[in-house]
Amino acid sequence: MAGYSAAHDLAVLASMAGDFDEFIKSDVVFWQLTDDGPLLNRYPKLTVAGVLFCMHKLQLLPELLAPAQHARCAAQISTVRENISAWRANIERKAVREFAGRLRSWSWFVDEAGLEQKAAVRHYAQEAYGRTYLHLLLELLQNHSTHAAMAAQVASCDVRLRSVWAPARFVWDAQLQPAFPADVFWFLYGVPDADAPKL
């Protein structure tokens, strides 16, 4: 993630917050935002993990926002959190569905990383979003009946990834590093090692 802009993330969050009520009440997991941003820097689709990711960065990196933006940021986060609380069952259903799709993609990437490690290294910074989203979804679903099974599936992927893992510097923009400590987000501090044994 190069050239991180907290102001851009705040604009994304505002767009997500504006659509959040409709999103929650729908069956859609990947929601096309009504305001999808400027032509050359479109906003991502609204998902449960996507909004959690956006809020996570903004909450833990307030110093990257201008002072005048702090109140707006707090208001947007409050709006989203109130909706999550009010529509918890709907949110969890969406989160479970999103988790399943993201787990399939991440598992496929991890398996490919064992076979095509040089390609995996090139694409890892982008693919690491998927593992980060899984982490945030597991946090949200920590009291859900399927949490243990989902966590075990992620752990299985982690074992496979660690078998070809080479610790390295933080894979995203250094400004984001304080929001993603290595003891929790270890998978953002390295790459699949092209010289490691095959899985």
**Is residue 198 very low, low, confident or very high in pLDDT (cuts 50, 70, 90)?**
very low
On the question of pLDDT at 73 being above 80, the answer is: yes
The CA distance from 170 to 121, in Å, is 13
Q: Which two tokens stand for residue 74?
A: 């707090």
- List, in sequence order, every residue forming a beta bridge with 167; answer none if it has no partner: 190
The CA distance from 147 to 53, in Å, is 19
For the chain, give every domain's residue range.
6-87, 90-192
For 26, half-sphere exposure in the C-beta direction (CA atoms, 13 angstrom radius) is: 13
Q: What is the pLDDT of residue 195?
A: 62
Contact 28, 21 (CB under 8 A): no
**Is residue 115 very low, low, confident or very high in pLDDT (cuts 50, 70, 90)?**
low
**Is residue 107 very low, low, confident or very high in pLDDT (cuts 50, 70, 90)?**
very high
Q: Is the pTM of this model over 0.85?
A: yes
Q: Where are the beta strands (DSSP E) in 63-173?
A: 165-167
Contact 114, 160 (CB under 8 A): yes
On the question of pLDDT at 38 being above 90, the answer is: no
